[in-house]
Chains A and B, each alone.
Chain A
Amino acid sequence: MQKFFRRNFAGYAFLSPWLVGFFLLAIGPILASLYLSFTKYNVVRPPQWLGLDHYVYMFQYDQRFWKALQVTFQFVVISVPLKLIFALGVAMALDKGIRAIGWYRALFYLPSILGGSIAVAILWRQLFNYDGVINSILRLFGAEGPYWLADPKYSLWTLIVLAIWQFGSPMLIFLAGLRAIPQELYEAAEIDAAGPVKKFFAITVPLLAPVIFFNLVLQMIEAFKSFSGAFIISGGSGAPLDSLLFFTVYLYNEAFSFLRMGYASALAWVLLLIIALFTAIAFWTSKYWVHYENERG
């Protein structure tokens, strides 16, 4: 054992900043939140043990929990595929060897860098306000736009559009994947008189499947965790009519507005399990549609 440590000391020494951060700033709070999820804890008073009460209440009585789940699933199911389709479309357009490709990549990636920020959420609110840019443009054409953010019919869609706008990150990954597809395959297909649609479904999609899978998992997790846009646009409450009550917004309110830290911790663990479950499902389905080049047939 002593020999092992002597031999690996340098490695662990270099790793130590990360290890300290991981165990103190990540594992510690994670385990603490698991404990707190079984307690009543309002921050200003010591935790009181409740056992499974929070979980029972959540699933049996808490209608807002189910509403938050519904809104979040709606957001994930609509925004993730649209974002991936849009990102793939732009990546394919940029894969044509056009001039100044580097500038285009940077330009399209920019929203992803800004995307999760509070500033962009505030900008989005200004764009979609009743007197905002979108309605001003509509008025130029004689149309009167709705209250995009205050009408529950439209509010979620504004956030879906915001999510799609942040397509830069998956787009870059798609672009790298497209570059890795051998051109000979397309040339051979053309000799066989394959059209663009046939080439897309017979060559691009199968060979890009590992990248699509990677992007799908990443974007799905990101969508489940989406917070700042819904929080800023709904004024932190999930309004109107809880149409923007994302799971994270509900969790945040329970924790910091109502000081129900124990219940919020339970919500956080449920969210973790949901994300883990859907990630596992994605991995399970991947064996049916994702094929790797080095796989043996």
Chain B
Amino acid sequence: MQEFRLKKRVAGSLLATSILALSMAVLPNGAAAQDSDLQGEIRFSWWGGQVRNDKTDRIIQLFEGQHPNVSIVRENADWSPYWERLTIQSTGNNQPCAITMQTRWLATYARPDILMPLDELVENGTLDVSGIPEPVLNSARGADGNLYMIPHGVFYFALMYNEQMAQTAADAGVAPLDYPYTWDEFAEYLTAILPHLPEGAASVHNMGREQDAFVTWVQSHGEEVFDGSNVGFTKDVAVQWFEYWEALRTAGVTEPPEVMISDNSALIEESNIANNRGFMTNRPPNQLGSVQTTVDTVSPGTTIGITPYPVGPDGTVGMDIGANGIAIGASCDEARVPVAAEWINFWTQNEEAAGIYESDNGVVSIPALATAQAEDPDTQPTQVEHIELYQELIDTANPVFWPAGGYQALTDTLNRAYDAVAFGQLTPEQGADQLIADLQQQLSQAAR
């Protein structure tokens, strides 16, 4: 277990530090050599909404244009159904040849009978991983040490806020948040800004049930979320988390529980931040562009900015990062593997493809491409902001190792525990007990 922890820490810090270090690296040599004789049909699956679908479709058309005898069958879905469908496909040995995968879910699928180990294809040059930082590449390995996906985007977590409300408060004398700020300073700011918000607006979405925020809290307090397949954090840190949000809730700084749940499941256009009913919320920063587009329609004149999560009392950064990438299904027959590999090479290495995608699902994993995107005047300003904040934060990030079933388990158990606290059914202590017991049970079941 100690070896595992050490491995995780080393991998984590390497991942965090070397991405920035490599950001000035020479641009990759472009796409791998194109094979005009390449032919065949493969299925490619990904998750996401319409904007991502459109971008993906354009990239596929570009690829198919360069390889006229290749056809890619599109299989897209929303986030949750995507994983359910992949599970069912894996059961029937009917998974697509090219599968979009994420490090948070990798442990569930990282088996040679579901995903093809890719090391050999990398060694013989079929797969081109040049420019991808080694720690990022290693984050795509399973527990058996095999490489199971080629990462194309690194994602991180941040907070979105209403820039006009922040300015109004600043004009009224509330000192702006200046990163790095601690959780206590964050709460003080949110409390100070409340009187300057429109009537009925909350300073912040109640994040007591949000696992991204909780992970950041735990790690910023010097603890681990998971210890292998066990709960890694103490009861104290969970109690403090619940107490933190309960204090903000009872002070009116954040929403009551029914508003929290309503906002949690709301579409962007229905959300409090889009309707000027909330100042700050947690949404993935790669959604900044689509959030701003929606806000432009719902609340014209409002602009949304992104800011990092608070740091711990001693300045520890708790932000998790992960990678999205493309895996090859184990059921992909031999004749189609070269097509799938070339597709992955194109997706990860081709500058034009990266330019179309604009880091839509995580900042492009090759640092030089990320820098090029940020400097490109044609890149959407929101995406530039997304990439620049990533480059600012990445060297201090704290990647979590997600065990099999860990993501679902933490989301489910935290939701239920904090809901019970916020609705007054449990005290923070009881909520923490329930959280740890339920989470441990689910992790144990998944690991058995």
Shortest A44–chain B CB gap in Å is 6
* B379 proximity list for chain A (CB < 8 A): none
Residue from A149, A237, A241 in contact with B425 in the complex, judged by beta carbons closer than 8 Å: A241
Whether the Cβ atoms of A239 and B405 lie closer than 8 Å is no
Whether the Cβ atoms of A151 and B446 lie closer than 8 Å is no
Query: Once the chains are docked, how many angstroms separate the CA of A149 from the CA of B262?
Result: 8
Whether the Cβ atoms of A40 and B448 lie closer than 8 Å is yes
B373 within 8 A of A: no
B416 within 8 A of A: yes
Decide: A43 near B90, CB < 8 A? Known: A237-B412, A257-B408, A258-B446: yes
B36 within 8 A of A: no
Whether the Cβ atoms of A44 and B91 lie closer than 8 Å is yes
In the complex, which residue of chain A has the Cβ closest to the Cβ of B256?
A: A147
Residue from A44, A146, A257 in contact with B412 in the complex, judged by beta carbons closer than 8 Å: A257
Query: Once the chains are docked, how many angstroms separate the CA of A45 from the CA of B412?
Result: 23
Residue from A129, A147, A237, A256 in contact with B84 in the complex, judged by beta carbons closer than 8 Å: A256
A210 within 8 A of B: no
B257 within 8 A of A: yes
Whether the Cβ atoms of B446 and A42 lie closer than 8 Å is yes
A235 within 8 A of B: yes
* A241 proximity list for chain B (CB < 8 A): 419-420, 423, 425
A42-57 interface (Cβ within 8 A of B): 42-45
Interface string of A138-156 (1 = CB under 8 A from B): 0000000011011110000
Decide: A130 near B423, CB < 8 A? Known: A44-B87, A44-B90: no
Decide: A150 near B91, CB < 8 A? Known: A42-B446, A44-B114: no
Query: Once the chains are docked, how many angstroms separate the CA of A146 from the CA of B416?
Result: 21
* B18 proximity list for chain A (CB < 8 A): none
Whether the Cβ atoms of B258 and A237 lie closer than 8 Å is no
* A83 proximity list for chain B (CB < 8 A): none
A259 within 8 A of B: yes
Interface string of A108-140 (1 = CB under 8 A from B): 000000000000000000000111000000000
Query: Once the chains are docked, how many angstroms separate the CA of A239 from the CA of B408?
Result: 15
Whether the Cβ atoms of B259 and A152 lie closer than 8 Å is no
Q: Which interface class (under 10, 10 to 19, 20 to 34, 35 or more) fits B?
A: 20 to 34
A228-271 interface (Cβ within 8 A of B): 235-237, 239-242, 253, 256-260
In the complex, which residue of chain B has the Cβ closest to the Cβ of A252?
A: B84
Query: Once the chains are docked, how many angstroms separate the CA of A147 from the CA of B257?
Result: 10
Interface string of B241-281 (1 = CB under 8 A from A): 00000000000000001111110110000100000000000
Whether the Cβ atoms of B419 and A239 lie closer than 8 Å is yes
* B448 proximity list for chain A (CB < 8 A): 40
Instruction: Give the size of the chain A interface in residues (CB under 8 angstroms).
Output: 27
* B442 proximity list for chain A (CB < 8 A): 258
- Number of cross-chain contacts by CB at 8 Å: 71
* A129 proximity list for chain B (CB < 8 A): 262, 270
Whether the Cβ atoms of B415 and A236 lie closer than 8 Å is no
Whether the Cβ atoms of B408 and A258 lie closer than 8 Å is yes
Interface string of B81-92 (1 = CB under 8 A from A): 000100110110
Shortest B306–chain A CB gap in Å is 25
- Which of A149, A150, A256, A260 has most chain B Cβ within 10 Å? A150
Interface string of B354-398 (1 = CB under 8 A from A): 000000000000000000000000000000000000000000000
Whether the Cβ atoms of A150 and B261 lie closer than 8 Å is yes
B109 within 8 A of A: yes
* B262 proximity list for chain A (CB < 8 A): 129-130, 147, 149-150
Whether the Cβ atoms of A242 and B258 lie closer than 8 Å is no
Query: Once the chains are docked, how many angstroms separate the CA of A257 from the CA of B257?
Result: 24
Query: Once the chains are docked, how many angstroms separate the CA of A284 from the CA of B445?
Result: 41
Interface string of B21-32 (1 = CB under 8 A from A): 000000000000
Shortest A71–chain B CB gap in Å is 14
Decide: A258 near B114, CB < 8 A? Known: A43-B90, A147-B262, A236-B80: no
Query: Once the chains are docked, how many angstroms separate the CA of A149 from the CA of B423?
Result: 14
Query: Once the chains are docked, how many angstroms separate the CA of A259 from the CA of B448?
Result: 13
Whether the Cβ atoms of B412 and A239 lie closer than 8 Å is no
Shortest B412–chain A CB gap in Å is 7
Whether the Cβ atoms of A239 and B415 lie closer than 8 Å is yes
Shortest A235–chain B CB gap in Å is 4
Whether the Cβ atoms of A152 and B423 lie closer than 8 Å is yes
* B14 proximity list for chain A (CB < 8 A): none
* B197 proximity list for chain A (CB < 8 A): none
* A146 proximity list for chain B (CB < 8 A): 258
B409 within 8 A of A: yes
Query: Once the chains are docked, how many angstroms separate the CA of A290 from the CA of B11?
Result: 72
Instruction: Please list 30 pairs of residues, one from A and one from B, whose beta carbons are closer than 8 Å in the complex, sorted by A's number.
Output: A40-B448, A42-B446, A43-B88, A44-B87, A44-B91, A44-B108, A44-B111, A44-B114, A45-B111, A129-B262, A129-B270, A130-B262, A147-B259, A150-B258, A150-B262, A235-B264, A236-B80, A237-B412, A237-B415, A239-B415, A239-B419, A240-B257, A241-B425, A253-B412, A256-B84, A257-B84, A258-B405, A258-B442, A258-B446, A259-B87
Identify 6 new A-B residue pairs, CB closer than 8 A, beyond the known A43-B87, A131-B270: A44-B87, A44-B108, A235-B265, A240-B257, A257-B80, A259-B405
Residues in chain B within 8 A of chain A (CB atoms): 80, 84, 87-88, 90-91, 108-109, 111, 114, 257-262, 264-265, 270, 405, 408-409, 412, 415-416, 419-420, 423, 425, 442, 445-446, 448
Residues in chain A within 8 A of chain B (CB atoms): 40, 42-45, 129-131, 146-147, 149-152, 235-237, 239-242, 253, 256-260
**Which 6 A-B residue pairings sit nearest by Cβ, starting from the closest?**
A147-B258, A150-B262, A150-B261, A150-B258, A151-B258, A235-B265
